[in-house]
Copies of this chain bind each other. A is one copy, B any other.
C-alpha cells in the first residue's frame, strides 16, 4: 500500500513537469462513429472502470441498443443521453457491460430513463476526463477515474437536484440487480452482466459497486418496477407492474428494474462529487478499491493523477515530425491499445476464478478482455515491444486461466470464456512473447497448455473440428468456417513448432511444422485461392470467392471471403508463393485483392496483406504506398476515424506500427517488416528489465510518404525489409532513407 501511495505522489510530481505533452494528442472521440465502438468516457490506463456517456437508449437516437445489434454505450451521432455507465468495453463487436448508470437531474424525481434522459452540449473528452452539459437540466457533468473507481462531478443549478443510480438500464442483455443505501452518502450493490454476443448466459456474473457521495442527500430512496402479474392475483394488485418509490429505504432491493435516487435542495449552484468503486469479487472489495485509490482526494486531484498516469504511459513512445493530426491519431491509437486488456483484479489482488468465480488472489496483475482472434495479430507484439511488463503479466494471466479452467483463453471476458470467433490463438501469443525475450513466466506450462489444445480430440473447447483437422489436415464443411479455422490452427501449430524448436523438443517441432502447412490442401490451383472441402474431400459447390464480404455468412469462411483469407498464412508465405506459381503469381494475385477492392481494412483476416509485398523483392514499394493510402483513407482525427470496430485495440495497433514504419507481419516469428514511417523520428523507451537497450530509435529521412531508398541499422547499411526483434531492442537506431 505504501508503495502504491508512493506511485501516486510520484505521478503528481511528474505532472508538474510534463503536463499534457502526450495526452494533448488524445482524442477519445476517434472511433465513436462508424462502428468503431470506442467511447469517449474517462478511463485510466487499463482501467477496470470507465465513466462513459450512455446515449444508446431511446428510439430518438440514430442507433438504439434494443432495436439492433449495438455493442457500444455511446454513439457520436446519437443525442439522447440517459446516464453515465461505469463498466464498459471499448471497440468490441458484441453488447455487454454498459451498466451502473449514474444520472444527475433536477426537479421532481423521475425514474423512467426515457423521461429523465436529456440532450447535451459542450462535450469535451481527454485522456482520463470527459465532460458535457445536460441541456434539459443545465447540469455540468465531469468525469474522471482511477483504475477501479469512477469519479463524477456535477455542477447543479439552484433548486432540487437528484442523482439517480439506475441498475435496470444497461447495454448487456442480462438483468438482475441488488441495491442498498448504506447511508445518506453511500450506496452499495451489484448488477448482473454477461451473455456477450448473446451467448453463454449460464456464465452471466455480477459486477459489484460502492458509491460515495461528497454531500449527504436531503432525501433518498430506491425504486423498483416489478414485472406485471397476470391471472387471478392481478385483480387484487392495484400496483401491478407499476414503479414504486421507497423513500428512505435502507435494505437491499432486488430486481431487474431498480435504482436509487439521492435528492438535494440547493439554495445556490452547487457541486457534488460521486465516486463509484467497482469489483468483480465483492462489495467489500469494491469499497476497498474506492477507498484505497481515491483516499480523500478531490475530483481535481484524481483528474490530475489520471492525466499524469496517461502521460507516463503514452510517453513510452515519443514521435517527432508529422502533423498535429498525425500525432493525434497516433497517440489516440496508443491510448486505445492501453484500454484492453484491462485489469480484473482488485486492489488487494483478488479476482474471480474462471467460470465458477471462486475468489482467487494474484501477486501480479490479472488482466482480462483477451480478444485473441483480433489481438494476436499485432497488439500483443506492440505490448511486448513497448510494455513488456504488462505483456508478461498478460501471459501470466493466460496461464492462470489455464490453471483455473484447464484451457488457455480464446476470447476471455471478466473470467468467462466467451469462445467467440474461431481459432486457438493463445499459443501464437505465448510463442511470440517468449521468442521476443520476455521469458519470466512458466514456459513449460505454457507449452503444455498449447499442445493440449492442439492435440485433445475430445471436449476441446478451443479447437472444434480438430478430429478432421488432424486426420485430413483441414476442417470440412461440416464445421462452420472450415477454411478460416484451418488457417488459424495452422498458424498456431506453426507457433508451437517454433517454441518446440526453442525448447529443444525435436519431435514436436517436426510434427507441428508439418501440421502448420496443411492449409495447402485447401488451395485451388485454378482459382489460386483457398476454398472449402466437403467431408468426402470434394470441393464444396457452388463456390463464390466474392461471397462473404461485410459479415454475411459464407461457407468456409468467418467474417470474410476467399480473397480476404487467401494470404492469411503469414507463417508460410514462401509456400503460398510456390502454390501461386512463384513470386510473380503471388504478387499479381495479391495486387488483385486491392485492385478489385476485396481488401477489408475493417477486419482482421487481411490486415497484414499490405505488408506481404515485402516478401517479393522489388515490390516493397507497394507495401509502402498501400500502407500510407490505407492510413490516409481509414484513420483520421474524427469520430469516424477508425475503419470499423477497433477490436480492443487491434486496429489501433495496426496504425501505430504502420506509422512507425515496422509491422509484426508474422505473429509468432519475432520479426518485423519495414515500411515508411509517418514520423521523422520515433523513440521507444525500452524496459531495462527485459531489454538491454535504453531506446529504440526509428528515423526517417527524405520526402514525406516517399518510397524507401535505403535502410540503415546503427549506421550500417541494412539490406532487408525484415528485421529481427532481437536486433531492434539492443538500443538500436533504424534509419529509413527515402528516395
Contacts and interface: CB of A to CB of B under 8 A. Distances in A.
Interface of A: 66-69, 173-178, 190, 192, 195, 198, 201-206, 224, 226-227, 229, 231-233, 236-239, 244-256, 352-353, 355-359
Nearest to A207: B251
B175 A226 contact: yes
A229 B173 contact: yes
A206 B251 contact: yes
Nearest to A198: B236
A625 to B, nearest CB: 41
Given A173-B233, A198-B237, A202-B246, A192 B67 contact: no
19 contacts: A175-B255, A176-B226, A176-B253, A178-B252, A178-B254, A192-B254, A192-B255, A195-B237, A198-B236, A198-B238, A201-B237, A202-B239, A203-B246, A204-B253, A206-B252, A206-B253, A206-B254, A227-B256, A254-B254
Nearest to A232: B67
Contact of A244 (B175, B198, B201): B201
B178 A231 contact: no
B353 A250 contact: yes
Given A67-B232, A198-B237, A233-B198, A205 B251 contact: yes
Nearest to A229: B173
A44 to B, nearest CB: 25
B232 A190 contact: no
A229 B238 CA distance: 25
Which 10 residue pairs spanning A and B have beta carbons closest together?
Answer: A176-B254, A248-B356, A198-B236, A202-B244, A251-B357, A250-B358, A176-B255, A201-B239, A250-B357, A206-B252
Nearest to A357: B251
Contacts of A232: 66-69
Contact of A173 (B67, B178, B237, B238): B237
Contacts of A256: 227, 255-256
Given A173-B229, A190-B252, A195-B237, 16 more contacts: A66-B233, A67-B231, A175-B255, A176-B226, A192-B255, A198-B237, A202-B239, A202-B244, A202-B246, A204-B244, A247-B356, A249-B355, A250-B352, A250-B353, A250-B356, A250-B357
A193 B214 CA distance: 33
Contacts of A229: 173
Contacts of A227: 175, 227, 256
Which among A176, A192, A251, A359 has the highest number of chain B CB atoms within 10 Å? A251
Contacts of A245: 202
A179 to B, nearest CB: 11
A238 B247 CA distance: 39
A59 to B, nearest CB: 12
Nearest to A203: B246
A408 to B, nearest CB: 20
B202 A356 contact: no
Nearest to A239: B201
Contacts of A247: 356
A225 to B, nearest CB: 11
A237 B197 CA distance: 9
Which among A174, A202, A358 has the highest number of chain B CB atoms within 10 Å? A202
Contacts of A226: 174-176, 201
Contacts of A233: 66, 173, 198
A176 to B, nearest CB: 3
A233 B247 CA distance: 34
A173 B203 CA distance: 28
Contacts of A251: 205-206, 352, 357
A143 to B, nearest CB: 26
A248 B355 contact: yes
Contacts of A248: 355-356
Contacts of A246: 202-203
A347 to B, nearest CB: 18
Contacts of A202: 239, 244-246
A255 to B, nearest CB: 5
